[in-house]
Structures are given as structure tokens and as C-alpha cells.
Structure 1
Amino acid sequence: MTKSKEEIIEEMFEKGVLISEDFLKKEENQSSDNKFTGKIEAEEDLLVLNSDYAEVIKQQTSLVDWHELDSLKVGSEKERNDDLYQNELQQLKKSELVLQNSNTSKETSSLEVELNVEENGATTSTTTETKSEELIESSMNVIELNESEKNNLAMLKNVEIVFSYTNIPFKYKINDFGNIFRSRYKCLEKLLRNRQELRSTLTINRILGKKEKEKVSIIGVIEDVGTTRSGHIMLTLEDLTGKIKVLVSKNNKDLFPLAKELVYDEVIGITGNCGDKIIFANNIIWPDIPETNEMRKGNKEEYAIFLSDLHVGSNVFLEDEFNKFLRWIQGDTGNDKQRELANKVKYIIIAGDLVDGIGIYPTHEEDLKIKDIKKQYEEVVRLIKKIPLNKKIIVCPGNHDLVHLAEPQPVFYPEYTQCLYDQPNVIVVSNPAMINIGKTEDFSGFNILMYHGCSFDYYVANVESIRNNGGYHRADLIMKFLLKRRHLAPAFKSVPYFPGHKEDPLLIKTIPDFFVTGHIHYSKVANYKGVTMISGSCWQAKTSFQEKLGHEPEPARVPVVNLKTREVKILKFV
């Protein structure tokens, strides 16, 4: 029996559910479904029913967190970017993936293109190496090798996973999210207390009890950032004992611009003068990298190269350019100096988005050449098999890969990517992860922090100094921003979170030698207090979706680092 619009609206209203116009258009002239109506009754938290939610309900076999989904929907409309919302829908739907039978490989051109090299000198500063507890125990993949492969992979022992996360699902409670913030606060408070200005820090409840005006210092988490009618910045800081207001005057020409960079949930130190339940700030202190941090150099000449965002499977995957890169790394193209450089490359780090994925954004399938996710990863493996076995490849996932979006993202699901695990020179880690390369008997190796960079979108949109000084073209500003805060996503809203770890997994506890990211499709190299910051390029031309968002990618660039001198070059394969 077909129901009218009015009957559908009335029926759902009685169940406490409002109906969207797009749902009515789809349901009009369709027969009523008692099973579907029953499923809606089971969804107690459902407030508004649209066509997307209807598809989820029809296909889903378990209850959905509608509050979270509503929040993502509102965020997508407000920020005009529905990546998170669409990805969550794809996770909830039990959709069948369409197989593509056509051969997706292309013949490589016989025309060799000479490599162009951009020099990018690395500046130095100094410190002592900092070590901390590993966030999580992990071990390297167990790889079965024949004798010839063992000879080719003698350098395998020079790669060590410092940490890589495994997420164990369970029923989350509010306290689990609270634990994340408490662990973050305690870790960063410890770092901040090492600062001379904060060694006599008081708790907030003690400051609230003070009757006289005097100089004070506190450490807290930013609960709120606002602006007064007079144009001053007003913060609400909290610690484990209470909350207090902190005012940063617009007349403080040095401090006010720094205060404008503050974001929700970051941990900072404040010094200033206390008033009646308020502090008038005269300084803001971040956990930051110590000024004494040293740029360490290896004791033998070998090279590491940094890739990201291959996006294999996309209609605009730059296969010709990637094949030029492969021919170079095989030593088959370039001048003598460039071939010698390729021979000395020992490590290839790929910071996420190996494939373009499926259903990442609306109409995504129209932009795909390979519409089967397994075949996308098989094509990745077909390409990286051309890389010589004596070069170790370390990969982490990104937001286009087949893993959940909540961070830390686990390693690739083997049921879809077994071909990747079967490669003897590939190590797979989570996002984020830390690896150590180049260790010898008399050198402790380089710590490389790998992070795809999903949080970058939030800081480009919300931090004025980043947005006005290049935005997506200035990954170095974003990475410096995060290193300064010793956290990969200080604002809780900047990425979806997996709350199942005892300690905040996005803390930067160990100071890395290299901080490697991707995501924004624009290569950038810089140094900050002894840390080499590298943003990978991409191997995908501008998509229609990127064009709508105003993104301007700079593809087919490969940063190459001499581990003995820390000099960085950028190779161009365009």
C-alpha cells in the first residue's frame, strides 16, 4: 500500500521523528515497509530522518549513534566539507563493491623524461636526544624469505617500529574520553613544568582562593576561547581542580597575535597577575621542542625518500609520472649522478592514501578508474613490486585507505590488502606511528614520526596565521604548529578519535628527527628546532572535488634526504 506524504509525516511524527524533504521525495509512490517502520522504532535516538539515514537503517543490523552522525551532518553543512559525514555513512552501510573487469594497467611511454632537481638546504640547530616510554608495544612483521631475498634485505634490521597502534573495540563510556584528556594534561603538564617560568605553578583552585593581587602561573587545558566586547581575548582554562578565566589584552602587541592562534583543548602554561577569579596574562608558554634540540646526522651516506597520496585507482592517477619515478629508483633513467643517488636510497616512507578508495565523497565513483577496493590495492602492489628489494618501504594508512577514520587508524585490513603484506620489503604501521631507521653499532638511528595529516584541514580553516600565510601550501606552518603543542590534533574536533587507549595516542612524547606527513597534496620541507618537517607531494592530478574546494595540488615531487648530511633535495617527475 502506497502512503501519501502527509500520512508518512504523521506516522513518523507520532514516533518522535521529523522527516526531511529529500526522504519524502524518495519515498513518494513507494509501498510502505512494516519492517522498515519497525527498525525506526528501535532507533530511540533518531530525531530527523533523511534519505541517507533511511539507507543506513535499511541495511544496518545494529544500533547507530545518531547524535554523532547528526553532529557530522551539521559540521558538513557548516564547513561545506562532508568528507567525515560521507565516510561515516559508508562505514555504516553494508554496500556491495562493484567489480571492474577491465585491465587497468597502462603501457609506459618509451620516452624518458629527465629528472629536475630542486635544492633545499637544511639549516641546523642543536639538542640532546630525548627518549620516552613507548606508547604501545609493537613488533615488526614476520616475513618468510628465501636465501636470495635474505641477501637483498640485509638492511632489514636497520628498521624498527618504535610504536604502532592496535585498536581493540569495546563499548565506550564518557570516562574513556575523559581519560584521553587527563592523560594528555598530565603528560604535557610534566613537559611544561620543566620551563623556568612555570616551576612555581599553582593549581586553579588555589588561585581562585587568593584574596590579593599577585603574580601567578598556571597550566591548563583550553575549554573555551572567545572575544570580549572590547576586543580582548578571553580564555577559560581548566585543570584537575577547577576552571578560571584568563584575559589577553589587545593592547599587548607581542602576546595578542600569539593568543589568536590558540585552539580548543590544547594544553598551555600562563603567567600573569591574578584578580577576582581571573588572570591577566602576560605570557603564554607551549610544551614545544626544547631550544637545545640537536639535528643529528648519520655516520654513513644513505638516503631516504618520502612519498604520500598515491591515490591509485583514481581517474587522474598520474601513472606515467609514477612510472618515471619507478624507472629512476630502479636506476634505469637519469644522469650518472641521479642513478648513483637512486642506488643509495635505502628507505621509502609512504605517508598514507595508497589508493583513492571508494565513497569518500559524493559522486566519488564517477572519479574512479578502478571501482573495486581489492583491485586498487593489487594495482598498488603491482607498481611497488618494481622497487628493488634492497629498499625498505614503510607505509601507513590515510583517510582514503580502507581503514576507519578515527585516529589512531590501525594498519590496513589484511582481508582486503593481503597482497601488500605479502611483499617482503614492506612494513605496515598505523597512522600515526614512529619508526627508527639507520641504526648502527655506534649510532642510535633516526626516529621518524609518520602522520597522514587529517587534522590539517581544521587548522587551515581555524588558525588565522596559517590561513593567511599560504594555507594548504604551507604544510610547514601546520607541522610547526603541532610540534609546538606536542600533539598531532590538539583540538578534539579536528579529527575523529578512538578513545580506547589508556594514554592519548596523538601526543608527541618522543621528539622525532623527522616529522613526515601528506594529505594536502603539496610538498614542503623545512626545519624547526632540529626536526626536519617533510610534507609529501601526491600522484594525482586535480580532481573535480578539489576544484570545488579551491585546492591546488603540486604533484609528482619526491623529497630525498641524505641521512649523513641531512641535506634535502626535491626531485620532480613532471
Structure 2
Amino acid sequence: MALPNEPRQFRTLFVSDLHLGSKAARTDMFLDFLKRNDAETYYLVGDIVDGWRLKRMWHWPQSHNDVVQKLLRKARKGARIVYVPGNHDEFLREFPGQHFGGVEVRRNDVHTTADGRKFLVMHGDEFDIVVRNARLLAYLGDWAYDAAIALNLVFNKVRRRLGFPYWSFSSWAKLKVKNAVSFIGAFEEALALEAKRRGCEGVICGHIHHAEISTFRGVEYVNTGDWVESCTAVGEHFDGTLELIRWADVLRDEHAETVVHRLPAARSMADRRRHEAA
């Protein structure tokens, strides 16, 4: 068990959809996550770098470079890092089996958990009909998504000024759209069936920015979520169990605890003032 100031230890951590190169990337929260969580193996499950946005406009602040350096530092310290590219960083699919600074690139992979279960690890865009068959439509959808994320940034800037923690308005809104919910269900079914076809007990993916651990027709479906909206990851413990980590919720709970701890002191000060006035 980790001490209060030490990172939580995992056998494996799975993250996806950081979208480095995008103004919407929550690098502040991801760097905090990396600082306070450690693992023997890290899977980067696609869309870590957002090549689509970088082609349109170069955006690479120091915080994005800090993420890359932090991951490379973990590799130098002995962690295994496997990069499974997605559609936004598909340029890396040209280098399967290559190593860059200790980071191993794989088109997809099969991960065996500590309790012997096999999970197919892939980004998942291969099963997104829009990405596969209508690339122009995919780009148009990406621009619309940028607009929703921009609104989310403004929304959370106001929340911070009012003293409230991060909350994803865009993620909440997406789940209220019937067509989006239907698409998520079809995506989950396709990925689960592909894992079963390949003889795996489960699948670990990203792509749709909707974190979830569930079971579909006897196949475990695990989506790592993203670090643009929900700020989520999946951790494998040393007994093989999988945990969905909602980092925004962790920070929100810590914020609430801090407020609660301040209240007794504030009341005590008020009591002293009333006593002095009497």
C-alpha cells in the first residue's frame, strides 16, 4: 500500500486520447495523474498526438512537451511503454515493432492480465464506419467536435473562477444525444465481437471518448476514455482486476474534502469573534 505522498502502484496503466497538439488537451490533469500513479507497463492506446490538428495549426506548448518527457523518463527508469496508434496519430502505424526512446510501437497487441485473461488492445477507429469509409465526413465531425470542446473550456474557466472543480459539459451533452448513445452501443458490440473472434476474453480500446468497463456477450469491454473531456484511465492491479480511474472525480472529491476541513476552522474563528464581542 502506497504512503500518502507516494504514487499508487499498478501492474499496468492504459490511457488514450490525450490529443497532444490540441488546445483542448488536459495536460495539467494528465501530468498530475502521472505524478501520483505509477505502473510497470503503460499502454498508450491511440490518439496520444493529434496529427490532424497539428496539420491545420501548430500548437505545442511546454506542457505538451512535459508529457512526452515524463513518459520517456518512466521508460528510462524501467517501465515498459507500448504505443498503439489511433486515427489521429496514424502516421506511427508505418513503424510497427519500432522503438523510439524506449517506447515500443505496435499496430495492436494482446495483453495478458495477472490472472491469465487475454485482452485485445487496439484504438478502435478500425470499427468506426465514419473514419473508415467517409474520411471527409470524419474531418467535418472533428471540426464540430472542436467547437464543443471550445465551449467546454469556456464553461470550466467560469467554474474555476467560481471555485468549482472541473466537470465535462461536452461529455455530459454527448450522452444526451440519442444518436451518439446508439453509436456507442454499436461500437462496443463491434469491438467485443472482434476480441472474441481473436480468441481473447476482452478488449481494451479508446477512440470514442467514453470510458467504460462492461460485459457484452461474455466479452469484457474496456474503454479508457480520454484526457480531453472525461480525464480517465484504466489501471490493472497486481491481482489482475481492472479499475476505471476517473481523475476529474478524484480531484473533485479532494476539493470537497478540503472545503469540509476548512469549515471547522472557519466556525472556530467565528466563535472566537462572537466571544470577544461579548
1:387 is paired with a residue whose SS is: helix
Partners of 1:555 and 1:511 lie apart in 2 by 31
Aligned residue in 1 for 2:198: 510
Q: 2:120 aligns with which of 449, 453, 457?
A: 449
Q: 2:129 aligns with which of 458, 472, 476?
A: 458
Partners of 2:110 and 2:88 lie apart in 1 by 22
Q: Which amino acid aligns with 2:205?
A: T
Partners of 2:214 and 2:184 lie apart in 1 by 9
Q: 1:472 to 1:562 in 2, by over 3 A?
A: farther
Q: Which amino acid aligns with 1:458?
A: I
- CA drift of 1:326 comes to 1.3
Aligned residue in 1 for 2:86: 398
Deviations 1:461-517, CA, capped at 9 Å, x for gaps: x9xxxx986636874652223433x48xxxxxxxxxxxxxxxxxxxx6422233111
Residue pair 1:410, 1:429 contacting (<8 A) in 2 also: no
Deviations 1:99-140, CA, capped at 9 Å, x for gaps: xxxxxxxxxxxxxxxx9xxxxxxxxxxxxxxxxxxxxxxxxx
Q: Which amino acid aligns with 1:384?
A: L
Partners of 1:477 and 1:511 lie apart in 2 by 20
Q: 2:189 aligns with which of 472, 480, 486?
A: 480
Bigger RCO of structures 1 and 2 (CA < 8 A, at least 6 apart): 2
Aligned residue in 2 for 1:183: none
Aligned residue in 1 for 2:100: 421
Quote the sequence identity (%).
22
Partners of 2:110 and 2:96 lie apart in 1 by 17
Q: 1:386 to 1:522 in 2, by over 3 A?
A: farther
Partners of 2:220 and 2:94 lie apart in 1 by 25
Partners of 2:80 and 2:188 lie apart in 1 by 25
Instruction: Say yes or no: does 1:569 pair with 2:259.
Output: no
Instruction: Say yes or no: does 1:357 pair with 2:46.
Output: no
List alignment gaps of at least 5 residues for structure 2: 1-6, 134-175, 252-278
TM norm structure 1: 0.30
Partners of 1:567 and 1:458 lie apart in 2 by 29
Residue pair 1:561, 1:569 contacting (<8 A) in 2 also: no
Residue pair 1:302, 1:562 contacting (<8 A) in 2 also: yes
TM norm structure 2: 0.56
Residue pair 1:476, 1:533 contacting (<8 A) in 2 also: no
List alignment gaps of at least 5 residues for structure 1: 1-114, 116-300, 330-341, 415-419, 488-507, 541-553
Q: Which amino acid aligns with 2:59?
A: K
Aligned residue in 1 for 2:31: 323
Q: 1:458 to 1:473 in 2, by over 3 A?
A: same
Q: 1:376 to 1:353 in 2, by over 3 A?
A: farther
Number of residue pairs matched?
A: 199
Instruction: Say yes or no: does 1:385 pair with 2:94.
Output: no
Q: Superposition RMSD on alpha carbons, in Å?
A: 4.1
Residue pair 2:97, 2:106 contacting (<8 A) in 1 also: no
Q: 1:402 to 1:313 in 2, by over 3 A?
A: same
Residue pair 2:26, 2:227 contacting (<8 A) in 1 also: yes
Instruction: Say yes or no: does 1:411 pair with 2:95.
Output: yes
Q: Which amino acid aligns with 1:387?
A: K
Aligned residue in 2 for 1:310: 18
Partners of 1:473 and 1:380 lie apart in 2 by 34
Q: 1:402 to 1:559 in 2, by over 3 A?
A: closer
Partners of 1:312 and 1:422 lie apart in 2 by 18
- CA drift of 1:567 comes to 4.6
Residue pair 1:402, 1:413 contacting (<8 A) in 2 also: no
- CA drift of 1:320 comes to 0.8
1:481 is paired with a residue whose SS is: helix
